[in-house]
Structure 1
Amino acid sequence: MFAKRLKQLRIKNKKTQEEMSNMLGITRQGYGKYENGKAEPDHETLDKIANYFGVSTDYLLGRTDSPNPDISIVYDGGPKYEDEDEREFIEQQLEQYRKMKKRMQARLEQDKKD
């Protein structure tokens, strides 16, 4: 799973094996072994790769399908509410946040024009 996810992330981020090997401080051949499943990185290198791509080491290793633990709620089918009042409150807060975000984006766009 690690080899597959590593290659997918590299391609998605438009990086070459050479660029990745330079970032990690290893040879291109050494990096190629990671993508071919012939070698696995040590813990320090694994952390470096995860931080570089902004994903968890658990995702790289195939322990979870959530690339980022901070957004795992999306992958778990959404939040679990205690009751209907809690759900309604959270949805109201989210709606307020979205409105505020739109206003801020509009303000930033206007500032760019001025």
Structure 2
Amino acid sequence: MFPIYAKRLKEARQKANNMTQLQVQKATGINNKTLSGYETGKNQPDYDTLKTLCDLYGVSTDWVLGNTNNPNSSLSMAERDAVKKLNLSDDDSFLSLYMEFDGREITAAEKQKVLAMARLLLQQDR
């Protein structure tokens, strides 16, 4: 399976003034062959490299890593933890969770809406 970070790094580079890998190399010092490995999923960037690329492209690391579908927003640590705990692929386990809003337990229909919204906003691209 093609890692989401690979797809998104390439997409971000191309959307950042249609930069070439050589232009990224000049701007960051990251070898274009190394960058190619990141964009094909053969290699995984370390945190500092990922941060450098995201800063250059103007996108968040959360977006590149698939934690959000909004390239311009970052999730808090609590939000990241919540995303990891949610099992968005299993309706039954999600719908069995206790959830409340404004001091009342939300209904099954409301949970369905929450699940649909969570999938829309947070689920990784497949």
- What TM-score does the superposition give when structure 1 sets the normalisation length? 0.56
Structure 2 residue matching 1:34: 3-state secondary structure: helix
State the distance in 1 between where 2:13 and 2:72 align.
16
Structure 1 residue runs without a partner (length 5+):
71-81, 83-114
How many residues align? The count is 71
1:24 aligns with 2:19: no
Shift of 1:60: 0.8
Contact persistence 2:13–2:20 (CA under 8 A): yes
Shift of 1:9: 1.3
Shift of 1:28: 1.3
Counterpart of 1:63 in structure 2 is 67
- What TM-score does the superposition give when structure 2 sets the normalisation length? 0.51
Shift of 1:24: 2.4
Structure 2 residue runs without a partner (length 5+):
75-101, 103-126
Structure 1 residue matching 2:26: 3-state secondary structure: helix
Counterpart of 2:83 in structure 1 is none
Task: Tell which deviates more after alignment, 29-38 or 12-21.
Answer: 12-21
Structure 1 residue matching 2:13: 3-state secondary structure: helix
Of structures 1 and 2, the one scoring higher in RCO (CA 8 A, sep 6+) is 2
Contact persistence 2:12–2:59 (CA under 8 A): no
State the distance in 1 between where 2:69 and 2:63 align.
6
- Give the CA RMSD over aligned residues: 1.7
